[in-house]
Structure 1
Amino acid sequence: MERIKRKLRVYTTPKCIRCRQLKRWLKIKGFEFEELDLSNTEVQADLVMKDVYSTSSPILEVGKRFIMANEIFEGERLNEKVLQEALEASSR
């Protein structure tokens, strides 16, 4: 199945284990993404301008949708169903 290139952004923080899990999963699935550091005040300001008020990482931006850490993970496990649905919906 050919991957449709869509704009993905992963908002991370230094030393974030969950961020590494999400990035690894995206790479394995063949998705390219831009990584942005949530500890950067310019990145935080950009999120506020988009009505996103969270400093918990990771945050995944898929098109105009923001998927927060509490949606990306169930406990310590990656919620692959939520991620797959969001990524598939963005390609329609």
Structure 2
Amino acid sequence: MVNLTVYSTSTCPRCEQLKAALKKAGLSFDSLDMSTPQALTELRVNGVFTLMAPVLQADESFYTVEDLFEGDSLRDLSSILKS
């Protein structure tokens, strides 16, 4: 089973959309506040330099807004998580 972490902010509608889709798919995930120094450091150490939330970590892979969304619509998570 894949380990998922959502890096988000408190005022991010896309973050809530991603979390709702993960819950609907029956996937459990951790949620970290992307605005904290610890979360930003974790992202930077892993080569993720975006300030736009959300970021989805699936095991060792990271997916940014550009990967997760087409405009305001969430892409199909099953295809993202299989890549």
Q: Is residue 11–residue 37 contact of structure 1 (8 Å, CA) maintained in 2?
A: yes
Q: Which has the larger radius of gyration?
A: 1
- Give the 4+ runs in structure 1 shifted more than 6 A: none
Q: Is residue 11–residue 38 contact of structure 1 (8 Å, CA) maintained in 2?
A: yes
Give me the identity figure in percent. 34
Structure 2, unaligned runs of 5 or more: none
Q: Distance in 2 between matches of 1:6 and 1:59?
A: 16
Match of 1:12 among 8, 17, 38: 8
2:78 is matched with which residue? 84
Aligned residue identity for 1:66: F
The SS at the match of 1:60 is strand
Deviation string 1:29-48 (CA, Å, 9 cap, x unpaired) is 00000001110011101111
Deviation for aligned residue 1:87? 2.3
Q: Does 1:54 align with 2:50?
A: yes
Deviation for aligned residue 1:75? 0.7
Structure 1, unaligned runs of 5 or more: none
* Number of residues of Structure 1 aligned to a counterpart in Structure 2: 83
The SS at the match of 2:82 is helix
RMSD, aligned CA: 1.1
1:74 is matched with which residue? 70
| Higher mean C-alpha deviation, range 15-24 or range 46-55 | 46-55
The SS at the match of 1:52 is coil
